[in-house]
Structure 1
Amino acid sequence: MRLKSVESLVPGDVLGQPVYGKSGQVLLQVDVALTSSYIRRLRQYGCTYVFVRDPRTEDVELQQSISSELRQEIVRKIHRTLDRFANGIERRSLLREGELGATFRDLFNMLFQNVLKNQVVLTNLTSMYSSDTFLYSHCMNVALYAGAVAIGYGYSEAKVRDLGVGAMLHDIGKLAIDRKILDKPGALTEDEKRQVEMHCQLGYDMLTQQPNISRTSAHCALQHHEKFDGTGYPRGLVGEEIHEVGRILAVADVYDALTSNRAYRKAFLPHEAVEVLYGESNAHFDPKFVQLFVKHVNVYPPGTPVTLNQNLSGIVVDINTDQLMRPVVRILQESNRDVTPYDIDLSKHLNFVISRCDDHASVSFVG
């Protein structure tokens, strides 16, 4: 199993994981042999990377933080509920009866019980989704990432649940923004920027109308675009003036947005997104929550092609939960020449480091 960019797929490649659509439905099943037509469809879906079979790494198990079945069920329910909420008449009913809060508390409870309660490390959640799933899968992914950071920070179960519900609903204000503006591929006008920035206050106002959504959850919507240096919005808060949940959400939100396929750009690889988080520590992000994020989210999932120093290339085959940045790598090439595969545990061999990580690493993947 290995990660491969859609641009480098060839007919005959076999999918190692399903590809999901807007409502969480499976667009292409695992073990489908790709044809030219399927590859074109993947490009049309906006997919950037997929996992494919490779006989040299068939023993590698992809570590799924969330099962395909649970993922589909939750994304489908998010899709259905938010579509109802986008309808003005349905929205009033959902708010009046408290159904919105009840639904998302139930959904986050499913994530907590089935994923967060028993996992120390989350694997990147987004690589197999098409670009039109973003709003719905983003709700779930941000809740998982934020929940993992909160647990690592020592939050009680009750606080994790409040954060998780708020994380799932942090972008609900966008339902009141013109979709054409949200998906615009080019630069926004000043007026369009102002409209987009309104989603934080709009979301907060919507959530505070809910009797069963806490003020902490509502602050997730209000403050997830505040920046640690005071240059964020809507209030330009600085440092610890920003609610803790806002500082956690900022990291989780940006990471998932970067690693997700969007209509206007390709997804970043996980390690590339982490480089952005590190680069923006003390500016956009509270550095302690960046450190916690990297400690609890695996940026080199098994199947990732990497190049090491000393002209070695291969595939990540396992992780070290206490040193996520130093996984086990199966070497397939030395100085661009194929070799009999062998494994190097980077946590035990500190003279080796990952120097490059993408589908264009110098591994010549042969069937």
Structure 2
Amino acid sequence: MRMMPISMCRPGMKLGKRIFSDDGIVLLAEGVELTAPLLRRLGENGISYLYIQDPRTEGIEVPEILSEETHRQALNTIRSVFRDFVDQPGKRRTGTYPYVGRNLRQVMHLIMDDLQRNRDAMIMLMNLQTVDHYLYMHSLNVCVYTTLLGMAYGYGTDELATLGLGALLHDVGKTQISMQVLLKPGQLSSAEYEEMKRHAERGYYLLKDEPNIPLIAAHCALQHHERLDGSGYPRGLKGDEIHEYARWIGIVDSYDAMTTHRVYRDPMLPHRAVETLYAGSGTLYDTAMLRVFRDKVAIYPVGITVRLNTGQTGVVVDINSASAHRPIVRVLTDEANADLKTPYDIDLSKQLSVMITGIEAGPSER
């Protein structure tokens, strides 16, 4: 299979992977033939890329970081918890929900079990083919990516559980923001932007007294938009004033926001998002943390079409974890862009004279 921008998909193509709703229900099965109305509806529901069947890319399988069951249970729990926290914006919520922390801890155990079974997993674009509520999927993505980074960094089990909970709940304060602001398709006004920024403090106040949620998780919600140079919010903290968990989450939150479809823009692909993050190295984000992050990100996702300096094009077959920017590529065309009768695989970590010079992408990535 291969990954294609939905803008380049055409009627008659067949799905290479199933499409899910945000509660794990299969909406479209693998092998379904795409039609023009179907493509239009998928685009309207926030899907920017599709995995498509292609005989030339037979055998290319996209690895899933989480099992289907863990993914389903996690999203169901996140949705349930966040809905329990929904209130009129600005209204003080009374009482606590002791079961919330218990349920979230169970989800964290499932996630950590999946990740422990594959500690060398790379940060992949997750669930491109899920028709979801952005806040729920973003919260799960940030949790999984941050926990992977924590494993690579060497945190112990208890530390990982706390870090993961902080990541899972970092945006819970957005349940207190009006839907008109949260889902506005255009640029926010200055007043709306100030309203949106309040989600950090509101998340802290939602979490700080919950009996089964660590106080550090509440501080992650409060501090994940703080930046090293003091330019972040809500308190303008600098450097080590920001908890290290919140600094990890700040990097991953920014990355996932850039690489996920939003109502007001198309997503970036990983190599562009990493470049953007590195532009803030040492000023916005911790340089050492960015290095760990860069080493764990699959810059060129499995299934994406790339251009080589030889003039040929191909599809990424697999990731070299020790050299993420030099994957294994199945070459599909020659230098004149004519299809090869017999495609072949090339390992760029061994063929050092061959380099990726570009990708096949939608309009926003060109």
TM over 0.5: yes
Give the letter aligned to residue 67 of structure 1: S
Matches within 5 A, 1:187-198: 187-198=187-198
Is 1:356 the counterpart of 2:358 in the alignment?
yes
Contact kept? 2:138, 2:257, Cα under 8 Å? yes
Q: Which residue of 2 aligns with 1:154?
A: 154
Matches within 5 A, 1:35-74: 35-74=35-74
Aligned length: 357
Matches within 5 A, 1:205-216: 205-216=205-216
Give the letter aligned to residue 51 of structure 1: Y
Q: Alpha-carbon deviation of 1:116?
A: 4.2
- Which deviates more, 114-123 or 204-213? 114-123
Change over 3 Å in CA distance of 1:20–1:280 after alignment to 2: farther
Q: Which residue of 1 aligns with 2:349?
A: 347
| Counterpart Cα distance in 2 of 1:358 and 1:127 | 16
| Counterpart Cα distance in 2 of 1:222 and 1:30 | 41
Give the letter aligned to residue 350 of structure 2: K
| Counterpart Cα distance in 1 of 2:248 and 2:116 | 16
- Which deviates more, 29-38 or 2-11? 29-38
Give the letter aligned to residue 182 of structure 1: L
> 2:329 aligns to what SS in structure 1?
strand
Q: Which residue of 2 aligns with 1:298?
A: 298
Q: Which residue of 2 aligns with 1:173?
A: 173
Q: Which residue of 1 aligns with 2:128?
A: 127
Matches within 5 A, 1:242-257: 242-257=242-257
| Counterpart Cα distance in 2 of 1:174 and 1:225 | 13
1:41-70 superposed Cα distances (whole Å, 9 cap, x missing partner): 111212100101110111112111112332
Contact kept? 1:142, 1:252, Cα under 8 Å? yes
Give the letter aligned to residue 64 of structure 1: E
Q: Alpha-carbon deviation of 1:24?
A: 3.6
> 1:96 aligns to what SS in structure 2?
coil
> 1:152 aligns to what SS in structure 2?
helix
Give the letter aligned to residue 260 of structure 1: T
| Counterpart Cα distance in 2 of 1:92 and 1:23 | 27
Contact kept? 1:346, 1:352, Cα under 8 Å? yes
| Structure 2: runs of 5+ lacking an equivalent | none
Q: Alpha-carbon deviation of 1:258?
A: 1.2
Contact kept? 1:346, 1:353, Cα under 8 Å? yes
| Counterpart Cα distance in 1 of 2:12 and 2:68 | 24
Q: Alpha-carbon deviation of 1:319?
A: 1.4
| Counterpart Cα distance in 2 of 1:260 and 1:351 | 33
| Counterpart Cα distance in 2 of 1:254 and 1:25 | 28
| Counterpart Cα distance in 2 of 1:3 and 1:295 | 22
1:147-170 superposed Cα distances (whole Å, 9 cap, x missing partner): 111111111110110010111111
Q: Alpha-carbon deviation of 1:18?
A: 1.8
| Counterpart Cα distance in 1 of 2:31 and 2:119 | 27
Give the letter aligned to residue 196 of structure 2: V
Q: What TM-score, normalized to structure 2? A: 0.92
Contact kept? 1:260, 1:267, Cα under 8 Å? yes
Q: Which residue of 2 aligns with 1:331?
A: 331
Task: State the superposition RMSD in angstroms.
Answer: 1.9
| Counterpart Cα distance in 1 of 2:314 and 2:285 | 33
Give the letter aligned to residue 124 of structure 1: L
Give the letter aligned to residue 218 of structure 2: A
> 2:330 aligns to what SS in structure 1?
strand
Give the letter aligned to residue 358 of structure 2: R
> 1:317 aligns to what SS in structure 2?
strand
Give the letter aligned to residue 247 of structure 1: R
Give the letter aligned to residue 255 of structure 1: Y
Q: Alpha-carbon deviation of 1:297?
A: 2.7
Give the letter aligned to residue 17 of structure 1: K
Change over 3 Å in CA distance of 1:182–1:360 after alignment to 2: closer
- Which deviates more, 352-361 or 207-216? 352-361
Contact kept? 2:4, 2:52, Cα under 8 Å? yes
Give the letter aligned to residue 125 of structure 1: M
Q: Alpha-carbon deviation of 1:327?
A: 0.3
Contact kept? 1:138, 1:256, Cα under 8 Å? yes
> 2:130 aligns to what SS in structure 1?
coil
Q: Which residue of 2 aligns with 1:365?
A: none
| Counterpart Cα distance in 1 of 2:277 and 2:87 | 36
| Counterpart Cα distance in 1 of 2:306 and 2:282 | 29
Q: Alpha-carbon deviation of 1:136?
A: 0.6
| Counterpart Cα distance in 2 of 1:358 and 1:290 | 26
Change over 3 Å in CA distance of 1:156–1:237 after alignment to 2: same
Change over 3 Å in CA distance of 1:129–1:258 after alignment to 2: farther
